[in-house]
Amino acid sequence: MSKSATHAFPLVDRYMGVRMGVNLATVEPGRLMVVESPRRLRREQSYGFVHGLWFLWLADGRAAVSVPPGAGGAVRAILTGVRDRRAVLDPDLGERLKGPVGGALRSAGLRGIDRALRDLDFACNASLLRRHRCGACYRLTDGRLPIAKGIEYPDHCFPDGIVYGVVADGKVVSLAHAHRPGVMEGQVADLGVPGTVPACRRRGFAKACVSAVVEHVTRMGGDARYGCDPANLASIATARSVGFVPYGTQLVLAAPAPDTEG
């Protein structure tokens, strides 16, 4: 995809850059930058695992890979000649990257890679947002309302986070929230979508919740990010219906979080 065909999201670039330990504004389209970052050795706030490797290929052709200290040379060698964002989703490439990344983690006293997480990333701003209204969609600041079986409250987002839910028959049946990563939380809503209970699907509830979270942050001048599994067609459709456009393709090689952290 050409740069002219994409939208610019400098706030999302800054947000992702901070978390990855790379200044995405300095990465040129067509170039793949590999950086070593000590952030790859600790659990990201609100996540139960270590992002041992973080590979992001943006829709405008920029690409960056964040790895633990000591793994950069081997990772660069493996990625030599990679020129297509489809490589991010290639299981064989992920397997090859596990070796040097897992070795660097173990050298730092951590456990090795135990899973690969692949996402399609989307972004949205005030000009792209398509609001889906629902009279039963409210902002939630605590978990006092009963919640339907099959979804769970994002307790780490109460009381100050951005959480919206749809209430039906006295229970919360659909939810969306912005993660609390400790980075630019008032400027970028990083969407989490626990979902909608099966009996209430196909009624636009997820769209209402997602668009409410996006509207909340864009009213403050911010942008939103939405990541989902490439095979989750329903989630992709929800993102697009709210106005999200392709932002990038992402691979995370995850490791168990350390038992204790300073």
Q: Provide the pLDDT for residue 2.
A: 39
Note down the domain range covering 37. Answer: 3-123+249-256
Q: Provide the pLDDT for residue 261.
A: 52
Q: Provide the pLDDT for residue 3.
A: 40
> Are the beta carbons of 106 and 258 closer than 8 angstroms?
no
Work out the number of other CB atoms within 10 angstroms of the CB of residue 2.
9
- Residues 67 and 89 occupy one common structural domain: yes
Q: What domain count does the chain have?
A: 2
- Residues 103 and 33 occupy one common structural domain: yes
CATH of the domain at 146: 3.40.630.30
Place of tokens 């800054």: 14
> Are the beta carbons of 192 and 176 closer than 8 angstroms?
yes
- Residues 118 and 148 occupy one common structural domain: no
Rounded to whole angstroms, how far apart are CA atoms 91 and 253? Answer: 11
Beta-sheet pairing, 223-228 with 63-67: unpaired
- Residues 92 and 164 occupy one common structural domain: no
Q: Is residue 237 part of a domain?
A: no
- Residues 34 and 67 occupy one common structural domain: yes
Q: Is residue 236 part of a domain?
A: no
Mapping DSSP onto H, E and C, the string for the chain reads CCHHHCCCCHHHHHHHHHHHCCCHHHCCCCCEEEEECHHHHCECCCCCEEEEEEEEEECCCCEEEEECCCCHHHHHHHHCCCCCHHHHHCHHHHHHHHHHHHHHHHHCCCCCCCEEEEEEEEEECCCCCCCCCCCCEEECCCCCCCECCCCCCCHHHCCCCCEEEEEECCEEEEEEEECCCCCCCCCEEEEEEEEECHHHCCCCHHHHHHHHHHHHHHHCCCEEEEEECCCCHHHHHHHHHHCCEEEEEEEEEEEECCCCCC
Rounded to whole angstroms, how far apart are CA atoms 60 and 29? Answer: 6
Q: Is residue 35 part of a domain?
A: yes
Show the tokens assigned to 53. 């490797």
- Residues 193 and 116 occupy one common structural domain: no
How far is it between the farthest Cα atoms of the chain? Answer: 57
- Residues 181 and 214 occupy one common structural domain: yes
For the chain of 262 residues, list the mean pLDDT of each consecutive stretch of 10.
62 98 94 97 94 97 97 98 92 97 97 97 98 94 95 95 96 97 96 94 96 97 97 96 98 89 48
- Residues 76 and 183 occupy one common structural domain: no
Q: Is residue 24 part of a domain?
A: yes
Q: Is residue 183 part of a domain?
A: yes
- Residues 17 and 112 occupy one common structural domain: yes
- Residues 141 and 212 occupy one common structural domain: yes
Task: Provide the whole-model pTM.
Answer: 0.93
- Residues 85 and 115 occupy one common structural domain: yes
Q: Is residue 244 part of a domain?
A: no
> Are the beta carbons of 24 and 62 closer than 8 angstroms?
yes
Q: Is residue 206 part of a domain?
A: yes
Q: Is residue 21 part of a domain?
A: yes
- Residues 180 and 84 occupy one common structural domain: no
